[in-house]
Every structure is written in C-alpha cells, then in structure tokens.
Amino acid sequence: MATNRWWRGAVIYQIYPRSFLDTNGDGVGDLAGIVEKLDYVASLGVDAIWISPFFKSPMADFGYDIADYRDVDPLFGTLSDFDRLLAKAHALGIRVMIDQVLSHTSMEHEWFRQSRESRDNARADWYVWADAKPDGTPPNNWLSIFGGVAWKWEPRRRQYYLHNFLSSQPDLNFHNPHVRAATLDNVKFWLDKGVDGLRLDAINYCFHDAQLRDNPPKPAELRTGRGFSPDNPYAFQYHHYNNTQPENLQFLEELRALLDRYPDATTLGEISSEDSLATMAEYCNGQRLHMGYSFELLTDDFSAAYIRGTVERLEATMTEGWPCWAISNHDVQRAVTRWGGPDASDTFAAQMVAMVCSLRGSVCLYQGEELGLPEADVPYEALQDPYGKTFWPNFKGRDGCRTPMPWNDAPQAGFSDGKPWLPIPPEHVERNVALQDADAHSVLNAARSFLRWRKTQPALRQGSIRFIDTAEPVLAFVRECGDQSMLVAFNLSSSPVSWQPPHALSPLAAPGVAAAELRDGILHFPPCGAAFAALS
C-alpha cells in the first residue's frame, strides 16, 4: 500500500459494527462479520474503513460509552478477532481507522469507579467535579446534548459531575495532565497494533471552562442545527464554555506529536461547535489534526447555494488542513431521505455518492449509502436510541439510520440467524446487496463504477476547487491538479435542466451517473444528472 499521506483524497467507508453482519446469532453484528464481508468492502473501491466503537462498554450509547479502551467488548468478539480483521484488511489494500472517544468514558470505567468514591483518592481529579450552589442546584447552566441538565449528583462525593452526553458518560478532566497522559497511552496501544488512523469522536469536547462560567442564551430564531431544534433545550444556549476551549489546541498538538511517531497514521476529528467550519480550520494543520469533518452537510439544508457556500467558507479559512466530507453517518437521517424525500430515485442516490466524492477533500461513506438505503421508520416500541426515546415523537433519534445491512433476501436479510437488534424494513430488503450486485444498473454498481473511475482522476482526488456561478438547481465547479482541469456539474433536481457553461468542454465518460449531453455548447441534464468534462 502506498504511504505518505494516503488519506488525502481517500474514500473512507464507515462500518457501524452492530449493524454490519452478525455471525453468532445474537442479533448484533460483530468483528467476525466485518472480516467476512471485507471482500465486499474491497469491491467498492474504497481506500479505508472506519469502524465505530467496538470496545468494552455497557452499551448505554452503543459503544460510545467506553469502559475499557484496550479491550473488545464480548458482544463484538475478542482482540484476536480485531487482529484478524486488521491483517485481512491490509492484505486487501484497505486501511483501518478506529473510533476513539476521548472526551468521556462510561461510568463503569475503572477510572470513574475510583474517582467517585472520595475527593482525595488517586483519581479524584480525573473527572469534572463541582460543588453544588448554596441551594443544592448544579454549579452552572450547562446542558446535555441528550436533553436536560449536564450535571449529575454523586452522593459518595456530595458533588456534581459533568456529562455533555448521557449521565452515564462522565466527562474526563483534561486540565489534569495525568488524564492527558493516560489518554495518549491508550491511543498508543492501538497505533502499536497497526491501525492506520483514528476517527476522534467529539474531539472539541475534551476541555471545559475551568471557571465553570454560564453559557449565554441564544435567541429563539437561531436555535437550529443537527437535532438541536427548539424541542431540545440544548439549542437554547451558545455553547461557549462547555466545549471548544483554547486549552484543547495544546492537547491536539500533544496528540499530533504522538501520531508523528507513526508517520503513516492519520487523524480525523469530528467537530461540532458554534462555528464548526472555523473550528475545523483551527484544529487541522501540520501541528494538530490531519483532517476534520463537521455536520454542515449532515443537515436538512440542500441546495446548490448551500453546498457551495459551505465548501467555499471552509476553503477560505482552512489554509493548511485537509477537509473530509460526509452526507450520511450513524448520527443523522440518511441523505437519500433527508435530501431526496420519501420518493427519492436510484438516480438521485447514485448522484449523491458522486457529488460528495467530487468535492475537494477526503470522503466518509456510510454503510448502505452505496445501496441507496432510505431512512428506516422504526416504531417507538422498537426504539433503542436513548436520544430518540427522550425526544419522541418530534425527533425519533438515530435508530432509523442504524438498522442492519440487507445482504440478501433470506430471513433477516442475511444479517443474522437471530432477531436483529433493530428491525430491517422491507424497503431495505428490496435493496439488498445480492440483488444489486446482479443488476448492472443498480445504485451499488453505479457507486462501484464511479469510485473506481475517481481513483484514476488526480483532479478529483487531490486537486483544487473553484466554483462557477450558476442558478439553482445546478451546482458547478472546476477541479484542477497539474495539467488536468475538470468541470464538474450536477443537476440537483428531479426535472431536466439545461445550462450553458462558460468554458469550452470535452465531455468525459464518467460512469455511475446519469450523464448530461453537450449540444451546441449547452449541457442538457436529465433529472439528477451530472456532467464531467475536460476544459478545452
């Protein structure tokens, strides 16, 4: 495998292990299931996989609440299973990235068990503890993303502890140098095993304001964002003090110094702040993270102007780092439904893969995106996500994008011999891998074809990006690398559109998309069509 910044322009396939393939019949996917399906992943033409947490955990937040950073939860297998996974992936030319959840642990982690016992034990200051106000209320007004107050009373210490997420996910105190050192040592454990990269969950949440200042209120008209509707009180504040603190920059530099001892390994930070694009630019450079992604393209906003504006704003600020884009993941409604609506076509699904893979940067594709899976409608009685249970029915949580992969039309779609942990909807079974594999015109084969072709186009993998003025619904830009200059354009509507580009073009036969026709200098797009052309 090529070394030296392999991650620049890479396509990274996210695997949510609970829902990929179950090999032991318990209804939950496992590491052995990933091993079994790595040949399928290789057939997609991706460069790497990112595996969501598989570490020992009580699973209150399905693995994002870690009880032991250095062991595999028995639900998913063993460390030997992970070693087999790593070896097979590397043999297939696939890099392996793993999730690292550094800002908080499970309350079942040994560190927290010790920390909560008293105010004077060896780990007493490893978590964020604070005294109550004189009236017994929490020390400030900080709120949890998952709803309600971000402080939980601990009677053993007669203090509150901070939890930015679930109350069973206490926040570590990164102001303590021993916490930072222990965290980096856990990261080193996996780097020594040979992982190729780290996806850093909620990386801007590591530090809190040491003065515990109140967050200021946010005007009602600005209470928007991923899941942060007016139904969630989290949207009522500017989160100036419970995350994205200046001290975090030094920790990122300490983390990068460790990564630099493994020159082929990379970092990808998940960043969600009051101005995520500005934070990405600040966090991603030669001394901090290699790459970052935010939720700007994981929202409901969908238009050529919005996509252009988002990318241009990042391009204007991120002068050193490398962007990574995603339009679907395990935390948000699937893009086919979110952007395409309930009747989105296969052509739209294939177009979305091509669109996100044509932007400047690396790309995260979420399992099932290559099948054009829509969001699943999970009934309340089948919900597993605590986030969804809290805000039902206005917000149904994240279960709809986490349902198991449909592999074939066997019982349980070939995912499990038991009852799946989430139901598999019939419309997903109708889009199963085996069926699409046999259909030359399927979303799966369109995605495969496009990703293979993309690997042959330096402008798409490494080139600069420059947008062209267009009217809705056309999104158009130029990608340039060396002598290659390529126009890329998408009709983001379900109706035919014509557009006259400002350049003379030589159309390129890009596979996997509904191609526009060039006639008399005018591009004629079919519904959800695309154009790739060399600039003459």
C-alpha atoms less than 13 angstroms from C-alpha of 489 in its C-beta half-sphere:
34
* Phi, psi dihedral angles at 201 (to 5 degrees): -70, 135
Catalytic-residue membership of 270 = yes
Angle of CA points 116, 121, 212, to nearest 5°:
60
Tokens of 151: 């402080």
The one-letter amino acid code at 392 reads: W
For 36-49, what is the HEC assignment? HCHHHHHHCCCCEE
CA–chain centroid gap for 266, Å, is: 15
Tokens read off for 476: 């158009």
Q: CB–CB of 489/523 below 8 Å?
A: yes
Q: Are 275 and 244 in contact (CB under 8 A)?
A: no
Contact predicate 182/173, CB 8 Å:
no
Please say whether the beta carbons of 437 and 444 come within 8 A: yes
- The 10 Å CB-count burial string (b at 16+, else e) for 309-325 is ebbeebbeebeebbbbb
State the Cα–Cα distance between residues 161 and 249, nearest whole angstrom. Answer: 24
d(CA 272, CA 455): 30
In angstroms, the CA 482 to CA 292 distance is 25
Which residue's structure tokens are 């609440």? Answer: 65
| Main-chain dihedrals φ then ψ at residue 278, nearest 5 degrees | -65, -40
User: Tokens 């893979």 identify what position?
Assistant: 357
Cα–Cα distance between 99 and 269 in angstroms, integer?
10
Task: Mention every residue, 6+ apart, whose C-beta is less than 8 A from residue 524.
Answer: 496, 497, 498, 516, 517, 518
Degrees (nearest 5) of the Cα angle 281, 287, 289?
Answer: 55
- H-type helices in 105-176, by residue range? 110-115
> Is residue 201 flagged as an active site residue?
yes
| Given the residues 22, 201, 370, 399, the one annotated as active site | 201
Widest distance between CA atoms in the chain? 79
The token pair at 424 is 């598999």
Q: At how many degrees (to 10) do helices 276-283 and 304-317 cross?
A: 30
**Does the N-terminal peptide bond of residue 511 adopt cis geometry, omega within 30 degrees of 0?**
no
How far is residue 171 from each of residues 13, 39, 116, 421, measured CA to CA in Å?
A: 29, 38, 12, 28
- Which among 22, 171, 270, 296 is annotated as catalytic? 270
**526: number of Cβ within 10 Å:** 17
The answer for 166, left when phi > 0, alpha when psi is -120 to 50, beta otherwise, is: beta
Quote the CA–CA distance of 477 and 530 in Å, as a whole number.
12
CA distance 360 to 367: 21
Q: Which residues are catalytic?
A: 201, 270
